[in-house]
Amino acid sequence: MLRTGKGAGPAEAQSAGPALFPFSTFASPLETRMTTVTLPTTAPPPPDAPGTSDAAGGPLPRPGHYAVAPGRSLVELTAWYGPLPTLRRRIALASAALTVPEDSEPAAFRFEFTDPRLPDDTVLSCDHAEPLGPARLQLLGDIRLSGTDFPALLTLRVVERADDRLLVVGTARLPHRLLHRATGFRYGGRLRPATRLRLLVAGEFTAVTAAEPAPETVAEESS
């Protein structure tokens, strides 16, 4: 009979075996990779915390035009076959824009991708951003592949928000077979089957200041 506690002898304590390692020591290969861009994992601050804006009363910044600067985004496209991922690749983001109108009209997002594995005109446009509480957005729109629009639903989590800045991360899930049937796009070729695709997008939107008109334009208008 194995005894534990104060009455356990050295031999009995040794037979009990070494202590189990915590689960955190068994990191998966994806967790051990170091990248130049780190996705935010902390919870978003409350609306009244420093660095956030409570004037709008929602997850969006003040009205205006916003863009993502180079190097301030991360896009990843993953193919899934049932519960198993079969292909995961980083996708280059050519540009991203956010328009927050002055009135009660919904905000609009636009993501343009440039990657040799995607058609040249791949664009994800969402003209209806619906707030889901103070820190989430649901975007209804379309993804354009080879000139054909396919409906897409993108859910964004607001990580940080200020009057002139918005940091978000979100995903869109696309049925691969229906997408291939509608647009002809097949991700990964025939050797990597997939039932659905997951598009992960993370970016930091900052306010865009209006550029001053060029001197020749002003001269033409004055004449």
86: left (phi over 0), alpha (psi -120 to 50) or beta: alpha
Compute the residue count for the chain: 223
Answer whether residue 18 is part of any domain: no
**How many domains, the chain?**
1
Answer whether residue 170 is part of any domain: yes
Beta bridge partners of 75: 201
H or E element that contains 93: strand 93-100
Answer whether residue 23 is part of any domain: no
Answer whether residue 41 is part of any domain: no
Q: Which amino acid is at 172?
A: A
Range(s) of the domain holding residue 96? 64-201
Answer whether residue 125 is part of any domain: yes
DSSP E strands, 39-122: 64-81, 84-90, 93-100, 107-113
Answer whether residue 52 is part of any domain: no
Instruction: Give average pLDDT by consecutive 10-residue segment, the chain, 223 residues.
Output: 50 46 39 41 44 55 94 94 92 94 90 89 92 90 94 95 95 95 86 90 90 44 42
Answer whether residue 14 is part of any domain: no
Domain at 151, CATH number: 2.40.128.110
pLDDT value of position 223: 40
Is the overall model pTM greater than 0.85, yes or no?
Answer: no
Answer whether residue 215 is part of any domain: no
